[in-house]
Homo-oligomer: A and B are copies of this chain.
């Protein structure tokens, strides 16, 4: 007498976790240093030391204030600090009342989805997409509608999105820098999307929101800058997480930002707050709210991630694999030489290389490699990749 689809969700081992656990088992047999695990997106750059210093400093506060309930949206000082930082960085006028702290990006996205889940509501996912989006949306009243990936460049092509818009479309989830492709959507492509969404919103008689999922916002390379989406399309809601930017994914701290420029901004913010209540949100972890508000200028050690991505991309393309060059985040897509991503991932295991088939990310024919690993492991893995390439006749 339990809900069968939740039972399935709870027992179905994700491919990512399966690979990870296989890797641990294999490590016990062949030695940890001989397993090349590119499956899990756990930040490998340590949490900045300033975070521990801030925690130590905060522990001097009155513990009842430090560990007590905050308002649902977050403690006033923390929201002020985040809003001020966003103003400084974007030039927009973000105010504390636009910020709603959450337990990471996942419940942030779900609260926005629930808030928009009117009858028959649809949400557009742009493949390749984060593998949990279908769960987050379909289990919370929104029908996910998938725009297939353009595997030529993995960019966002507005003309390819347009046919999927219906009168029920409430939102498009945009995730740039992208998991799993590492692609950063250009300002031009976002402008084109904005043009389409503006036109279609008028046509269908209600706003179509962009839900901008930005956990990798600070992780961009080549001097690029992730676009500030509300400046391009006002009807944007931002979901942010500190998991990657401060290397603390376990602490579950992030926020929703509903800027004033978004249509029905105040109502949408209130509906997000109401929806969050129905998810069991009381407040985001109070200590971490303060930590991130003290440390708004901290950034991860991008040099390490950058070196990883460049080296891996260079080596694998030189071996004859087709890879999508990452410009952000810490993932890279690699095409299965024979188009069979599951077989490719299985073949990799023969050489103790763990890669996740990107089918679950809406991108069959590719595997995802996490580049947030140790540089040393990349170097050690090269002979194995060489053998893998050979096995495909590359």
Contacts and interface: CB of A to CB of B under 8 A. Distances in A.
Interface stretch (A43-51, A225-233, A320-328, A343-351): A43-51
Interface residues on A, range: 35 or more
Given A9-B274, A47-B67, A2 B42 contact: no
A103 interface: yes
Contacts of A281: 106-107
A285 B63 contact: no
Query: DSSP class of A's interface residues: helix, strand, loop or mixed?
Result: helix
A160 to B, nearest CB: 24
A203 to B, nearest CB: 14
A177 to B, nearest CB: 19
Contacts of A55: 55, 59
A394 B2 CA distance: 53
Contacts of A368: none
Interface string A275-287: 1111111111111
A110 interface: yes
A154 interface: no
A68 interface: yes
Contacts of A278: 6, 9, 110, 135-136, 139-140
A64 B46 contact: yes
A252 B2 contact: no
Residue picked from A3, A9, A117, A170, most chain B C-beta under 10 Å: A3
Interface in A116-130: 116-118
Contacts of A108: 280
B287 A3 contact: no
Task: Report how many copies the assembly holds.
Answer: 2
Interface stretch (A23-31, A186-194, A242-250, A382-390): A242-250
A207 to B, nearest CB: 7
A284 B107 CA distance: 12
Interface string A51-62: 110011001001
A62 to B, nearest CB: 8
A182 to B, nearest CB: 20
A108 B103 CA distance: 14
A150 interface: no
Contacts of A276: 10
A9 B278 CA distance: 9
A9 B267 CA distance: 11
A131 to B, nearest CB: 11
8 nearest CB pairs, A to B:
A250-B286, A107-B280, A9-B274, A10-B274, A10-B270, A67-B248, A10-B273, A106-B280
Interface of A: 1-3, 5-11, 42-44, 46-47, 51-52, 55-56, 59, 62-64, 66-70, 102-104, 106-111, 114-118, 132, 135-136, 139-141, 170, 206-207, 247-252, 264, 267-288
7 contacts: A1-B116, A1-B207, A6-B275, A56-B59, A107-B279, A108-B280, A279-B280
Given A9-B277, A106-B281, A110-B278, 7 more contacts: A2-B264, A3-B275, A5-B274, A6-B114, A55-B55, A55-B59, A67-B249
